[in-house]
A and B are shown apart, each in its own frame.
Chain A
Amino acid sequence: SQQGEEDPQALSIQEGENATMNCSYKTSINNLQWYRQNSGRGLVHLILIRSNEREKHSGRLRVTLDTSKKSSSLLITASRAADTASYFCATDAQSGNTPLVFGKGTRLSVIA
């Protein structure tokens, strides 16, 4: 399976600190995506990084991708209480038009 696996499962930090979440996967990908899920809501797409990219930024988000290690990281800088949510990575397979496969997520708590 190419399911992404996030690490850690849960993370608790103080407001203003940076939060780093990691994702590992197993097979070749076209791209890797990160999503956020607030409690009781659907997943929201945050950022997509293609297999030929190494780093991407969007506001306070920074994503890196290392295809040799089959891993990605999501960094949220200067975290806010509103960033409290679960974060999922999802991989888009290189072979064929297959659906995204999601990991089980990292539960982030930002304490004010």
Chain B
Amino acid sequence: DAGVIQSPRHEVTEMGQEVTLRCKPISGHNSLFWYRQTMMRGLELLIYFNNNVPIDDSGMPEDRFSAKMPNASFSTLKIQPSEPRDSAVYFCASSDADRAWGYTFGSGTRLTVV
């Protein structure tokens, strides 16, 4: 398996634009997590899915953020409209039900909103 695949790796956009981040989890993993990492706040959980169903989105900072998982092999995180304070590295991670091997993280998307 190629691991968790995120795209794009880097995204620079202007304030007010819509941004869509993509994630392909490891085949067979049934949980998917979106995290955001900044120097000030560290690694924050935004939302997670079990079996494609959103379980807890209390970490989503505002209604401008939304996430979907239409099938077991794909998830998106959308920010509309984007703001400079959304600039961060966004990570997607997946795990199997047992979680005995922890989470597998993607390489992240570095988002810069100017």
Which A residues are within 8 Å of any B CB, using their own CB? 33, 35, 41-45, 48, 88, 90, 92, 97-105
A15–B82 alpha-carbon span in the complex (Å): 43
28 contacts between A and B (CB under 8 A): A35-B102, A41-B108, A42-B4, A42-B93, A42-B108, A43-B43, A43-B91, A43-B93, A43-B103, A43-B105, A44-B105, A45-B101, A45-B102, A45-B104, A48-B100, A48-B101, A48-B102, A90-B103, A98-B56, A99-B33, A99-B48, A100-B102, A100-B103, A101-B45, A102-B35, A102-B43, A103-B42, A105-B42
In terms of DSSP, what is the predominant structure of the interface of chain B?
strand
Minimum Cβ distance to chain A for residue B75 (Å): 15
Q: Which residues of B contact A42 (CB under 8 A)?
A: 4, 91, 93, 105-108
Q: Which residues of A contact B56 (CB under 8 A)?
A: 98-99
Please tell me which one of the listed residues B35, B102, B105 contacts residue A33 in the complex, with CB atoms under 8 A apart: B102
A74–B113 alpha-carbon span in the complex (Å): 36
Which B residues are within 8 Å of any A CB, using their own CB? 4, 33, 35, 42-43, 45, 48, 50, 56, 91, 93, 99-108
A26–B47 alpha-carbon span in the complex (Å): 22
Closest chain B residue, CB of each to CB of A34: B102
Minimum Cβ distance to chain B for residue A42 (Å): 3
Minimum Cβ distance to chain B for residue A72 (Å): 14
Minimum Cβ distance to chain B for residue A25 (Å): 14
Q: Which 6 A-B pairs have the closest CB atoms?
A: A42-B105, A45-B102, A104-B42, A102-B43, A43-B105, A42-B107
